[in-house]
Chain A
Amino acid sequence: MRVQIERLPAPVWLRSLIPFISIFLTFLLTVGLVLAADANPLAATYYFLLDPLSSRVRLIEVLVKATPLLLTGTAVAFAFAGGYWNIGAEGQLYMGATAATAVGLQMHGQPAWIAVPLVIVAGFAAGLLWAVVPALMKVRLKIDEVVTTLLLNYVAIYFVSALLNGPWRDPISQWPQSPDIAPSAIFPKLIPRSRLHLGFLVALGVVFILWFVLTRTTFGVKMRAVGLNSAAARFSGIGVERTTFIVALVSGGIAGLAGASEVAGIHYHLIDAISPGYGYTGIIIATLGALNAVGVALAAIFIGLIDTGAQTVSRALGVPAYLGDVIQATLLLVTLAVLLLQRYRVTIRRRQPT
């Protein structure tokens, strides 16, 4: 017997079945746990995947959840496509949120058409600036950006914590949260009486720009060449360091936008837990989405969906909230595995007599 593994992409019909295969495998893997929690596995699957799609309100909530993920996913995909392993979207998001809050607090008396764009610019700029140091270390000193961007996340998170427990502590409630930003700086709602806000449109715009840059511009070809084979890019006369630097900064800026969007669109003030790891989830989304814009958009909405589902499932079935987390994580892992494995074909044949 001989087992042969070849790299061969699956046919289109099989690829379109990937979500269903993943869901089925996840069901098999988690059915024991759900039963142990005294719940009906079929009902759990329903609440997880279908209930969020069952009403307009829930559907909108999926898009609200997807908004920061679209931004961090795009930020990471942009960096990865250019061969820059930005693990720092989380910290860049926190800095973007901080700057957006700082600007938003100063906007009392300003009209919305001034306040809102300024908040957006502040978020972008702060994320970008937070990315400058690791980017410089990378291109000038060849210091691995994976380590530096990751470590700066903790710096950013603790910086925000220090702000909220110090100068920005809410003077009235004494909670570790900033005062609310000016009403004019709050992102307008896209749909009345819902939580869907301007940030979603910004995110869609950024996804579109990602698509446009990667596929339609000269810079996109250059950054992809750098990402895929930097030696060949250098040989071809592309400024590898310059390209990497720009990619790193823009990626940071986009992640900063996610922070601004969460502050001005959802919370209206800065809190410690402004992000439950959106920056890291962005890495999953970028990978799941194969670093292209359409893939990132689908992956962000998919994760927004199971995020929403994870909340409903525990509430509706009275099972511990952790069970939702377990199913969500299993589904993610299985989807990643299936996406990876579908690129290979395994054939088993008897050994030929020699």
Chain B
Amino acid sequence: MNQAPPVVAMRDITKRFGDVVANKAVDFTLREREIHALLGENGAGKTTLMRILYGLYQEDAGQIWVRGEPVAIRSPRDAIALGIGMVTQHFALVPPMTVTENVILGTTDGLRLNLKAAHQKVAAAAERFGLSINPRALVEDLSVGEQQRVEILKALYRHAEVLILDEPTAVLVPQEVEQLFDSLRRLQEQGLSVVFITHKLHEVMAITNRVTVLRDGRVAGTVITRETDQAELARMMVGRATFNIPERENGHQVAERALVLEEVTALNNDGQPALKRVSLTVRAGEVLGLAGVSGNGQAELAEVLSGTRAVHRGRVLVHGRDVTNANPDAIMAAGVGRIPEDGRANVVSEMTVAQNIALEHLGDFTRRGQLDRRQMRAYAQKLIDEYQIKARPDDAIRTLSGGNLQKVILARVLARHPRVLVVSQPSRGLDVGATSYVRRRLLEQTDQGAGVLLISEDLDEVLALSDRIAVIYEGEIMGVLKPAEATVEQLGLLMAGVQA
């Protein structure tokens, strides 16, 4: 295996997006007939690196060789010509068309299309690659796993010798994962090289030959899969030797239970269970951090607690009051303040700062049906001063920077003295100054007796702010730890779905 010649070599690849460096001098080598995992946390730079290889992004520095030749890949068309195919999480299929039509789309010349011959060609290709699929089926009638097979077939039909799979198992049910792995092993025997982007350790162990771990845009190491184990990979992925945890004064440990979830089950938009019997307790005056890789049910949990997603089974209690399936109004009335993951999506961007601040409690600014605009503006001005927001009450909220927008949302919630705070990714995309401001404000709330549920994919943030840490994986709580007792390995394994 190690003697196989490299089919793709990427050297010193650097890619910046504005001030953010997504890839820093990354070296990556893919050998012939290997399945090579690209492992890392969210934002480690895995997808960016592969988008560069597929021509979706251009590297700022570095060089790519394919089969020993230096190449410039300026578009996916170049990549396809070099025998590189990519299957992303979002399929590029035309649902009302048949499998054959989707596969041959863009590969045919001329005006005439012999569909019968095309069906036969596609069926033959499917047979040869061991991808069981009916070429005459409509894509919209296929399961997600089958659609993924069509995407793979599409790449192979275009003579791909290198296949990039971006988190291919994220959309699959377990049986489909097994089928995918079988197909990949067969394709590997036929000479295909595969890059397998993932953050799930057991998948790395199950299917790959080698692993390259990325951390903060750099290569943390490349190892041979059978010479390593999950613990080592977790350590490479998370990477911190020690956590620098500020000891926090906390006299409220025996305090009242502010927020209780009892075996809560909820479905995602596709009707699949996103939360599976989640039980959590947040006490008054504490921060409970919820760590996990994105897409493991955090967004659905935040929505359940915001009143915008139905609870399928189980109960939600706020200071003993049942708010299961209550609407947002009732949940706020029970004392819950919500700071959503995506601020921009949860404000009305064409409206003013003052209107957005008032939006959650318009009743307080209403006199006999009429809006007291003067009072609304004065209230906004008060919060702008108090929270040092760089904006005026009548500015359209879309003109605000990310940091100021987050401060507006923070002010809107905190000014109403919530007894329970549900916070998602509070500092994502913010600069250092705004981040520390937001975090300080959140901690202040616990001093005033609020219970805080902090949902974050930023492990440093969870460790810095939490009194206790719960880890979520595929909709289940894997465990609850104290930050002082938690080790990197333990957290990394729990986040990757391995029970410690």
Residues of A that sit less than 8 Å from B by CB: 216-222, 224-225, 228-229, 231-239
Contacts and interface: CB of A to CB of B under 8 A. Distances in A.
B370 A222 contact: no
B371 A232 contact: no
B308 A235 contact: yes
Nearest to A226: B348
B346 A235 contact: yes
Contacts, number: 69
Given A228-B349, A229-B348, A236 B360 contact: yes
A238 B359 contact: yes
Nearest to B372: A218
A225 B359 contact: yes
B330 to A, nearest CB: 8
B500 interface: no
Contact of A236 (B328, B345, B369, B373): B328
A228 B338 contact: no
Contact of B345 (A219, A222, A228, A231): A231
Nearest to B338: A235
- Most B C-beta atoms less than 10 A away, residue of A217, A225, A235: A235
Contact of A217 (B345, B347, B369): B369
A236 B369 CA distance: 18
Contacts of A218: 362-363, 365-366, 369-371
B209 interface: no
Interface string B172-211: 0000000000000000000000000000000000000000
14 contacts: A216-B370, A218-B363, A218-B365, A221-B355, A224-B348, A225-B351, A228-B349, A228-B350, A232-B348, A233-B359, A234-B328, A236-B346, A236-B359, A239-B327
A237 B351 contact: no
B328 A217 contact: no
Given A218-B366, A235-B340, A237-B329, 17 more contacts: A218-B363, A218-B365, A218-B369, A218-B370, A219-B369, A221-B359, A222-B362, A224-B351, A225-B359, A228-B351, A231-B346, A236-B359, A237-B328, A237-B332, A238-B359, A238-B362, A239-B327
Contacts of B404: none
A217 to B, nearest CB: 6
Interface string B357-379: 01111110110011101000000
Contacts of A234: 308, 328
B148 interface: no
B332 A232 contact: no
A235 B355 contact: no
B345 A237 contact: no
Contacts of A231: 308, 345-346
B336 to A, nearest CB: 11
B225 interface: no
B169 interface: no
A75 B307 CA distance: 32
A228 B347 CA distance: 10
B446 interface: no
Interface in B288-320: 306-308
Contacts of B348: 224-225, 228-229, 232-233
Contacts of B363: 218
A232 B338 CA distance: 12
B491 to A, nearest CB: 31
A287 B346 CA distance: 26
Contacts of B347: 229, 232
Contacts of B371: 216-218, 220-221
A220 B371 CA distance: 9
Contacts of A216: 370-371, 373
A259 B225 CA distance: 77
A229 B344 CA distance: 10
Nearest to B350: A228
Contacts of A220: 371
B396 to A, nearest CB: 11
The 10 closest A-B pairs by CB, nearest first: A237-B329, A237-B328, A236-B359, A218-B366, A229-B348, A236-B360, A228-B348, A225-B348, A232-B346, A235-B346
A239 B355 CA distance: 17
Contacts of B332: 237
Contacts of A228: 348-351
Contacts of B328: 234-237
A291 B477 CA distance: 49
A53 B358 CA distance: 46
A181 to B, nearest CB: 35
B193 to A, nearest CB: 34
A56 to B, nearest CB: 39
A221 B358 CA distance: 10
A166 to B, nearest CB: 44
B325 to A, nearest CB: 14
A103 B362 CA distance: 41
B398 to A, nearest CB: 11
A220 B365 CA distance: 13
A241 B103 CA distance: 42
B360 A237 contact: yes
A229 B332 CA distance: 20
Contacts of B351: 221, 224-225, 228
